[in-house]
Amino acid sequence: MSTVSSHVLDAVTGRPAAGVHLTLARREDDGVFAVVHTGRTDDDGRVAGWNTAPGLHRLRFDTGDWFAAQGTDTFYPEVEIAFLVADGHHHVPLLLSPFAYSTYRGS
């Protein structure tokens, strides 16, 4: 079994983005993506290790709702990142601002 975690940081304020809704989906053998986990980032902007099987995954961040709750407009109402999961742990950080975002494979 593999695990996936994430950390969302508000690049404008330099603070964790608490309360961002995330959805992790895995592509099944028939090519359809099935939801594996949903949740929200904690007060430190983190989602800890969700268990999943290896394969192609999509991690969707509902950034529009989070920015609206902050009273801020955004160009990106959601961010979706596709990545391959192998055995072991996979960390997918998101650096977020209203008009840009960045991600990388963390440790």
Q: Where are the domains of the chain?
A: 2-103
Q: Is 104 annotated as a binding residue?
A: yes
pLDDT tens track, the chain, 107 positions = 899 999 999 999 999 999 999 999 999 999 999 999 999 999 999 999 899 999 999 999 999 999 999 999 999 999 999 999 999 999 999 999 999 999 999 98
Confidence (pLDDT) at 107: 87
Domain 2-103 annotated CATH 1.10.10.10: no
Among residues 15, 1, 17, 3, the alpha carbon closest in space to that of 89 is found at: 3
Q: Is 76 annotated as a binding residue?
A: no
Among residues 98, 91, 99, 100, the alpha carbon closest in space to that of 48 is found at: 91
3-state SS, residue 76 = coil
Confidence (pLDDT) at 10: 97
pTM for the structure as a whole: 0.94
